[in-house]
Amino acid sequence: MKRFRVTIVHPCVGRKPGQEYVRTWQMEPLPAATLAGLTPKHIDVRFYDDRMELIPFDEPTDLVAISVETYTAKRAYQIASEYRQRGIPVVMGGFHASLCPDEVARYAESVVTGEAEILWPQVLDDAQHGTLQKFYRASGRTSLAGLRPDRSIFQGKRYLPVGLVEAGRGCHFKCEFCAVQTVFDSTQTRRPTDDILAELRLLKDSRKLFFFVDDNITSNMRQAKEFFRALIPLNIRWVSQASINAAHDEEFLDLLVRSGCQGVLIGFESLNPANLKSMNKTFNTAKGGFEKALGNLRRFGIRVYGTFIFGYDGDTEDSFLPTVEFAQEHAFYIAAFNHLTPFPGTPLYTRLVAEGRMLYDAWWLDDRYSYNRIPFQPRGMEPDALQRACLGARKAFYGWPSILKRSVDPVNRGNAFMWRNFYMINAMHRNDVSLRDHYPLGDQAWTGTLLTAN
Ligand code: B12
């Protein structure tokens, strides 16, 4: 009997005519490996990464699965149209599908909202029987026990040698701008420690660094500590995302270091307490605030990837320089200076719509919109000034004098591996400073017609 074939596609954000997609930050996409791992063995799986290869639309397949984020939605709909024009049904899932299911449903036979662990086998079964439903909605959270991402689909593709692994999903905080809280309803689930350790052992020889992609690895401190204790004997190097409250817990910091943590991404967001209040992120300033927390991290030798958001109501053009100086003074290993982005479905988006401040109906689909353009009206400056100032902040932080100064910081050169990589990673960021500015969403050279579904 003919085997059923499913083609998984990871879309890129967009493409300029005749040019390759931006090559930096191309890591193995875990959503694709997770879906492949959930697919029964009697089904053939193929995988194409639109960021690095041409999709062979004419290759025979029975079902196409596309992961959609807000920035990749436009490109995802182009890809879906190519397949659907050839009579192949398309199912979409991922963050944007969960945030905007009705929009996504216009371009696909089926939409999966929420986590796919329970629903995906059902989708495949229905597809094989020709009974695909329009919506498959996950109710509540799914257990992550038994999760086995299948990375064999990445063979032959050139990704950064970083091992992306999930330890948990979601975050209990309710930051106004964050899409994660909307999708997971401010809850966090964790994988059983033994499952994670088994996955790490499989990957350990081929990956020099692991990235736990958890939205907030510190969301449940008790479980995080238990996990770090179990990690110690593995002797790996890892980085992840954390909230700053964890930097006030000495036992936690000690376990971070002993388990091989090389650095954490922390969302500082703003130096302005009024902005943090509007973001619902006042926990950032608790227990002595940034200075105390950064002092603690420094004492334990933990590198910091600091991220900042500009464009909240308290920001003006004067907000940028002190923020860049703060990041330089604390010798952040790397830092991000991004404009506020209202993702659909977030409380921020709802508020800005209610205040009449959105400049596009759906910026992610609007042909006038391009990457890094400001999609809303800030209060303290004009949109163009906000965009220019973010660019200026990145240029200053990734200027050679700043890179060199930060490179000799004792924490950043705490071990040879991270010191060597400091130059490579900062050079990559430096190269990226304006690379994505005004990058199109969707492939600009695409001449097809977006096919809508019933
Ligand atoms: C790792 C990561 C990255 C990595 C990407 C690594 C890579 N592979 O290339 C890096 C650091 C480069 C990155 C960059 C960015 N990221 Co990012 N990233 C993540 C993060 C933390 C984890 C993603 C992951 O692997 N999760 C594990 C997988 C298994 O989970 P999942 O994607 O949710 O998939 C599950 C379901 O959604 C569903 N599903 C997913 N796809 C599909 C498809 C089908 C067909 C089906 C049925 C189901 C399904 O099934 C899966 C299993 O349940 C997420 C947060 C998160 N919780 O997902 C943010 C996240 C995806 N990123 C986000 C953003 C905004 C960005 C940036 C734009 C940030 C910036 N300003 O530069 C960039 C650019 C993104 C791009 N597309 O180019 C947002 C997207 C929001 C949105 N509305 O779309 C998220 C959700 C973070 C957030 N706080 O809002 N990111």
| Model confidence pLDDT, tens digit, residues 250-268 | 999 999 999 999 999 999 9
Whether residue 329 contacts residue 420, with contact meaning beta carbons closer than 8 Å, is answered with: no
Strand-pair partners of 304: 264
Token output for 185: 């309803």
Dump pLDDT digits (tens) for 292-315: 999 999 999 999 999 999 999 999
Task: Please say if the pLDDT value at position 434 is more than 90.
Answer: no
- For residue 428, the model assigns a pLDDT of 92
Tally the C-alpha atoms within 13 A of residue 210's C-alpha that lie toward its C-beta.
23
* Residue 118, Ramachandran bin (φ over 0: left; ψ between -120 and 50: alpha; else beta): alpha
Q: What is the largest CA-CA distance in the chain?
A: 68
Helix axes 119-128, 30-38, angle to 10 degrees: 60
Atom of ligand 1 nearest to the CA of 344: 83
Q: Per-residue b/e over 187-216, b at no fewer than 16 CB within 10 Å?
A: ebbbbebebbbebbeeeeeebebbbbbbbb
Cα 336 to ligand 1 centre (Å): 17
Atom of ligand 1 nearest to the CA of 166: 27
For residues 145 and 417, what is the distance between their CA atoms, to the nearest angstrom?
A: 33
Relative to beta strand 442-443, strand 14-15 is: parallel
Task: List the one residue out of 103, 99, 124 whose CA is nearest residue 113.
Answer: 99
Q: Give the C-alpha distances (Å, rounded to integers) separating 104 from 70, 75, 280, 338.
A: 10, 12, 29, 26
Pocket (CB within 6 angstroms of ligand 1): 13, 25, 27-31, 34-35, 65-67, 69-72, 91-96, 99, 112, 115-117, 120, 166, 169, 178-180, 213, 215, 338, 343
For residues 40 and 60, what is the distance between their CA atoms, to the nearest angstrom?
A: 19
- Where in 231-280 does DSSP place strands (E)? 238-242, 261-269
- For residue 317, the model assigns a pLDDT of 97
Q: Give the C-alpha distances (Å, rounded to integers) separating 181 from 70, 153, 178.
A: 15, 30, 6
User: What is the overall mean pLDDT for the chain?
Assistant: 95
Q: Position 324: which residue type?
A: V
- For residue 142, the model assigns a pLDDT of 92
- For residue 453, the model assigns a pLDDT of 82
What's the CA dihedral at 211, 330, 409, 263 to 10 degrees? Answer: -10
Task: Please say if the pLDDT value at position 193 is more than 90.
Answer: yes
Q: Position 77: which residue type?
A: Y
- For residue 3, the model assigns a pLDDT of 94
Nearest CA to ligand 1 atom 18: 213
For residues 48 and 83, what is the distance between their CA atoms, to the nearest angstrom?
A: 13
Dump pLDDT digits (tens) for 135-144: 999 988 999 9
Whether residue 255 contacts residue 261, with contact meaning beta carbons closer than 8 Å, is answered with: no
How sure is the predictor about 112, in pLDDT bands with cuts at 50, 70 and 90?
A: very high
Atom of ligand 1 nearest to the CA of 436: 72
- Where in 16-124 does DSSP place strands (E)? 44-49, 63-67, 90-93, 110-113
Token output for 99: 């945030």
Token output for 225: 């500590």
What radius of gyration do the chain's Cα atoms show?
22
Q: What angle do CA 414, 417, 423 make, to 5 degrees?
A: 90
Whether residue 241 contacts residue 217, with contact meaning beta carbons closer than 8 Å, is answered with: yes
Average the pLDDT over 260-282 and give the result: 97
Average the pLDDT over 423-435 and give the result: 91
Nearest CA to ligand 1 atom 4: 27
Percent of the residues in the chain that have a pLDDT greater than 90, as a whole number: 92
Q: Give the C-alpha distances (Å, rounded to integers) separating 443 from 13, 18, 78, 191.
A: 8, 10, 8, 37
Token output for 30: 């875990």
Out of 71, 74, 83, 372, give the residue to mutate to test ligand 1, the one with the largest number of ligand atoms within 8 Å of its CB.
Answer: 71
